[in-house]
Amino acid sequence: MQSNHFRPSDQTAKPELFMPHPYQELSLTRYLDATIEEVLALGEQAAKELNKTLYGRADIQAIKCKVGSLQVVKDPTPKNPNHANIKGFSLEKPEQKAIALELAAAAKFYPM
Amino acid sequence: MITATRGNTATAGYIDTTTQNQKGYFDQSVTLGKQTAYNELFAFWQECKFPNWDGYNAFAVQEETVIKTYWFIEALPLGYPLPSVGAEPDGHLTLEWYSNARWILSVSISPEGMLYYAALFGAISERGSDYFWGEIPKSILELIKEVKGITA
């Protein structure tokens, strides 16, 4: 997560984190076979590759991602066998924003 | 913050207290407190004015978007609370009025002046789009009032 993705005032995730553009899916990592430390290590590695600061992580239950037509689909990669995507976003921006509000409300932010 | 005192009498104390209260009110209001939002807007733009600012191929926030957002804030009527500023990966800026995660309004502003908004009021979700012609659409003003509990 980046500084634009959470509210320092109450340590909550912002909906901007859950906007899918320029893709029609959101990338995430499942805890299925990973510890918190392993998930954070992936985040730190990604932040390092992007030359960004990692501010924390946002956790959301998979069942909470089933908003409207959304579904969580596993998509393992060589670097991250627990990688998954949230798919099924509407192409309409107001719909995307409404879904992003729901996902942000269901997420829990954990600062570094 | 006002720190000057005008004397040691009860009257002076009353005037000081009243002045402090009024200063606090106006800092929160639109008329005198907008500079805070403008500062936040332009400072935030520095973080997202180039492509890929998020590391995931985000579009740059264009100057036109910043200008439209400035005028949107400028158009907020007296007594309306100021939003916080954010950005989305499609290059739109966002203005957020927030009470809690389920009582919130987010308005996206495009470089063309399109407004895309969504709000949550508990279990009720609202969304829509409109165009910014220099005045904030009434539908959005009503949502701001709802989020912030403004009854007048």
Residue range B68-84: mean pLDDT, rounded: 95
Query: What pLDDT is attached to residue B58?
Result: 92
Q: Lowest-confidence range among B3-7, B27-31, B90-94, B147-151? A: B3-7
Query: What pLDDT is attached to residue A52?
Result: 84
Integer Cα distance of A101 and A72 in angstroms: 17
Nearest-by-CA chain A residue for B99: A10
With beta carbons less than 8 A apart as the criterion, state whether B147 and B98 touch: yes
Q: Which of A32, A50, A51, A38 is nearest to A79 (CA)?
A: A38
Query: What pLDDT is attached to residue B1?
Result: 33
Chain A residues close to B93, C-beta within 8 Å: none
Q: Locate tokens 């060589």: which residue? A: A78
Chain B residues close to A48, C-beta within 8 Å: none
A95, A96, A98, A103: CA torsion to nearest 10: 140
ipTM computed for the complex: 0.90
- Distance in Å from the first CA to the final CA of chain B: 28
Nearest-by-CA chain A residue for B116: A94
Q: Is the pTM of this model over 0.80?
A: yes
Instruction: Check CB contact under 8 Å for B106 and A21.
Output: no
Indicate if the pLDDT at residue B23 is higher than 60.
no
Instruction: Check CB contact under 8 Å for A94 and B48.
Output: no
Q: Lowest-confidence range among A1-10, A89-98, B76-85, B117-126? A: A1-10
Indicate if the pLDDT at residue B4 is higher than 70.
no
